[in-house]
Structures are given as structure tokens and as C-alpha cells.
A and B are shown apart, each in its own frame.
Chain A
Amino acid sequence: MDEQITVFVNGAPVQIHRGMKVKHALIAFDQKIYAAAMDGRIIVEDSRGFRIGLEGALSTGARILTRPRNSPHCYDEK
């Protein structure tokens, strides 16, 4: 099993150590995006459009997407 895995953030390949999480992929992609996600200015979703937490696990080839938050209540967004 490879020690590093490749995931995709907004379509761009990002290499992270196996076992790392969504937050690590964002840090590796663009630390500003990570900071925006921490502040709730952007939403992080998987390829199905489901929201995912920053501590969520990632597997090889996982695709995560970020988008600006439209509502002050994430619960109201799908």
C-alpha cells in the first residue's frame, strides 16, 4: 500500500500522507482555502454534493469541492 495518496481538491490533484484528512488536503492545496473553511466562509463537499467535515477521512482518488457559503445556516443548504 502506497504511503502517499492522491486526492482532488476542486479538480486539482493533491498528494497527502495516507491516513490524513480533509483539512490536510485543503492545507496542501491552499492554506487560505483551509482558513476560509475553518471560518465557515466556504463549504466543503464531496463529489456527490454532501457536506463533509474537515476531520473527515479521505481515500485514494477522493474528490472534494469547495464553494462559498450562501446561507448563514449550513443546515439550510443542500
Chain B
Amino acid sequence: MNRSSRILLLAVWCVLAWAIPGNLQASQAVPITILHMNDLHGHILPYLDKTIREDKKVSGAATFAAIIQQERARNPAGTLLLSAGDMFQGTPISNVFKGEPVIEVMNALQFDAMALGNHELDWGRDALQQLRTAARFPFLAANISSTGGGGLEGARPYVLVSRHGVKMAVIGLITAEAAYSTKPAHVADLSFLEPATVLPELIKRARGEGAGLVIVLSHLGLDADEELARKVSGIDVIVGGHSHTAVTDPVRINSTIIVQAGYYGIYVGVLGLEVDPKTSKIVRYTTRDVLRPVVADEHAPADSNIAALVERYNNEIKAEFARVVGKSEVDLVRQPMAESNVGNLIADAIREAGAADIGFQNGGGIRADLPAGDVTLEELYTLLPFDNLVVTMTLKGEQVLELLEASGDQHTRILQLSGLTAVYDMSRPAGSRVVQAIVQGEKLRPEAQYRVATNDFLAAGGDRFTTFKEGSNLVCGDTLRDVVSDYLSKHSRVKPEVEDRMAFKN
């Protein structure tokens, strides 16, 4: 392709990549750039994500910071930097310091606002307040109401910002799913209101305060964002999160533009708007390729200050990983097709954390043996590398029996038990091999209801234990690693044994 063809192609692309809703000449409009991220989940270190690239690390604060700085430099007076929530929980470097490194990165990058995501409540309200106090930008949540009156302490419903003379309201919304997906104690006094019921009044109020553009910073998920745009008029832009969707080309519903930048910092969203400063109407916007991939290779730009900040915490985390969380008097050893002492320990920890009658852990989720002696945090990550949550549900006795039958039938996918013992007669037909089941010292009653704690993998029906999907009154708890860590801290020295919780005869 010769040079003139390339120029022609570029010109055509420029025309196609910008939608022109009105008739206003672009020269009269002012440029507003919305940079956005969502669902970072603590990924400030580059990481290898096979679902994205097989050969190079992605994400990392030093790289996405450099991209943000580059994009901001193109329009320094007209750029907004927003987060649609779930920024802190999810990686050791962030979890160990309860999100502090992420807040420092966000402060350094001068975020303008962040919507609260459901995972912002994972560590409880005190931890959230510490983060809010440390943040040099507002936390937004317009649809949380507390029984004490008002909203969540310290969170604002919206904030007004101006760029190039255009006043914008940024309104934060959180998913009502937070009521289900969060540890109950952390949300006990909170109600999560339907966004479409609170938004019209807020838009009216913000417009009354001079807002020309309305941006909803949503932690609702793309499906819900589309529904919101259909139900509520007057939203110019929705910057979304929660569904971890890589919205490469903005979605348009009526007059609302919807964007979302994937997850884990693998993209920076860059939405360009041209706004008539007199009417605050969007006259053009980028319609294609609004995500900048964050690839952390040797050619990628890196912000040296952010890199140093992350490295400081990374060094601290190495020391933290050496921290002893408990002690075991015996080797903790897996058994691939049978009850194991480490399986019993983990199932006991799960049951205790869920205050349940019964605890279940899948053997396949236990990924290492540990020698007797000190158990460090690093060893705990080796033992339980998956980011499972402990969940508690109600099952009937007959459903517990189904699970025991399935466990006895599979061998390679056996359940580790707590609070429950079972005797199997393997000479009987599959499905009727459990000849005795005892819960907390009493014979299991098929019609009785039991509180059962397990992990979210099994709760989804993993390893073909589909009966877990039928549970009711599901309550989410802490991560399995945290639960086992707490258990070891509380009960060490531990000495778990194989004690015939599952006995097979014939």
C-alpha cells in the first residue's frame, strides 16, 4: 500500500471511528476524554494470563500508568480518570495490605472518582473506611441506604467535575447483588436500592446544580447497564464494571453510550467525546477500538515512579509470605482417593468458619503436601492456590446423602468431610452404598435440614457434585485461604489425623 492510500485509509477510519449524532461542526466542540478502568482486583503486578496472551505478561500498574499518562497528555485539560469499582481485593500484594498499594497507585494517577464495587466490602467497613480516608478522590455509591439513615458512611452519591467549561455529574452505582455476594456481617445494616428508582431524582438534582453531562459510573454489569439506559433517560455515558466485559466498541442504547474496560488492568478504556460547550451535548464520540491493551513487555512504556511504588510493596510481600500462620505436629498429606489428614483439617476449618453442621472440601482443590512444623503464608498459597470462597447453604439430609453417594462412587473426586461420618458398603449398587451417616454424633435424618459449608467450586456443582446447586440460603464467607489461615492461627499446634470419617467395607 502506498503512502497516499494509507493516508486515505486513515482518513476513512477517522470518519468511521467517530459517530456524529448532531449537526454541530466539530470545530465548535471541546474534547473530553474519559479514561477508565474497572475490576482491577489488585493486579498492580504484571501477570501471565493464558486467556489473554500465552507469551507475554499483561497488566501491571507501571504499564497502565504510562498509558494513562500518554492519553492524558493528549488532552490534559479535558481528561477524566474514572474507576468503576472492584479495585482492591484479589491478589496477595493488595490483599495483604488491604488495598493500600492500589490506593497509592490511584492517588498517584489522580483518579477523579471511583464507584464502589461489591468487593470493596469484602474486608469489612473499617477497612473500607481506611481506604476511603487514604483516597484523594471520592468513593461513589448512590444506591446504598443504611438503616441508620443516609447512605454508606463516607460514600457520596455523585460528584461534579468540570473540563473545558463542561460541567459533568459522575454518579456511582453498585450492584444489588452485593447483598448476596458479600459476607453478611459487612452489609447487615445496608440496603442496595434498585438503580433505576434512585437515578432519575439524582440526575434531576445534578442537572439543577449545573451538570450538563451525566456520567454513570456503574458497578452493575453490562446487561444491567443496557437495561438502565433503556429505563432511565438523561444518562449520557455509562462507564461500567462488574461483568468483566471488554467492550471494544462502545454500546449505544438510545442516547446513552456504554463502555467497560475488561478486568484485572488488562485494558485502559479511552473514550473520546466532542461536546458542545454551550448545550453540553455530545456531538461526536469514538465508536471503535476504545480499549488500549496493557502488555508488559520490554517495549512497553513504564512509569518509573509507579514501578518503584509497586516494587516497594512487592518486596514487603515477600517478607509477609514468610510469616508463620500456624504449626502442625504432623505432615499434612493428601490422599488422592481417600480421606486425608489435610483434607480433614481444611474441611474442619470450612465448617467452623461457616458455623455449619457439616463441612465439605473437594480433594482436588488441595494441591500440595506440607511437612510438619511451621506453616507459612507462602505454603498456604501452595496448598490452596485457587481463589475459592467459603460458602454456606442449607441442604436436606437426603441431599447430603446424595453427595455422600456421589463421593463414594467417584473415588478420584472424593469429598473430604467434617462434622459427618459415613460408612459405605461397596458390595451394594451405586447410589445405595451409604449404610450409615452420622452428623454431629446423631444419625443423619433425610428430612432434616442441615447447614452445610463448602467452597464456591463445589457450590457451583464442580466435580459433578451437582446437588450443591440445589442448596438454599446461600451465604458467602471469606476466601478459603483466609479461613484455613485463621483456623491454623486459632488452633495451632494442629495434629489432624485420618479418623475413618469415610469407611469403606466390602
A residues with CB within 8 A of B: 3-4, 15-20, 22-25, 27-28, 31, 37-40, 43-44, 46, 48, 50-59, 61-62, 72-75, 78
Contact = CB atoms under 8 A, between A and B. Distances in A.
14 contacts: A17-B391, A17-B474, A27-B460, A28-B460, A37-B51, A50-B248, A51-B246, A53-B262, A55-B39, A57-B244, A58-B221, A61-B223, A73-B52, A74-B53
A14 B398 CA distance: 23
A53 B476 CA distance: 21
A43 B50 CA distance: 10
Interface string B460-472: 1111101001011
B177 A3 contact: no
A29 B461 CA distance: 9
Leading 8 A-B pairs by shortest Cβ distance? A56-B244, A40-B50, A53-B244, A24-B460, A19-B181, A19-B180, A53-B263, A27-B460
A3 B50 contact: no
A46 B184 CA distance: 30
A20 B461 contact: no
Contacts of B181: 19
B53 A73 contact: yes
B242 interface: yes
A18 B180 contact: yes
Given A19-B180, A24-B460, A46 B51 contact: no
Nearest to B58: A75
B243 interface: yes
B221 A27 contact: no
Nearest to B391: A17
A53 B248 CA distance: 14
A22 B12 CA distance: 38
A62 B246 contact: no
A23 B455 CA distance: 13
Interface of B: 39, 41, 49-55, 175, 177, 180-181, 221-224, 242-248, 251, 262-264, 293, 295, 391, 393, 456-457, 459-464, 466, 469, 471-474, 476
Given A50-B248, A53-B39, A40 B51 contact: yes
Given A15-B469, A27-B461, A58-B243, A40 B52 contact: yes
B53 A57 contact: no
A12 to B, nearest CB: 14
Contact of A3 (B242, B264, B461, B473): B473
A27 to B, nearest CB: 4
Contact of B50 (A22, A39, A57): A39
Contacts of A58: 221, 243
B51 A43 contact: yes
Given A24-B460, A40-B52, A50-B248, A75 B295 contact: yes
A52 B244 contact: yes
B469 A16 contact: yes
A16 B462 CA distance: 11
B143 to A, nearest CB: 15
Given A3-B472, A53-B264, A31 B39 contact: no
Contact of A40 (B54, B244, B393, B463): B54
A28 B251 CA distance: 29
Contact of A50 (B39, B246, B466): B246
A22 B223 CA distance: 14
Contacts of A17: 391, 393, 459-460, 469, 471, 474
Contact of A52 (B41, B243, B251, B391): B243
Contacts of A74: 51-53
Contacts of A40: 49-52, 54
Specify which of B181, B244, B469 lies most central, judged by the most chain A CB atoms within 10 Å of its CB. B244
Contacts of B222: 46, 48, 50
Given A28-B460, A73-B52, 19 more contacts: A4-B469, A17-B393, A17-B471, A18-B180, A19-B180, A24-B456, A24-B460, A27-B462, A31-B464, A39-B50, A40-B54, A50-B222, A50-B248, A51-B246, A53-B244, A57-B244, A62-B223, A73-B55, A78-B248
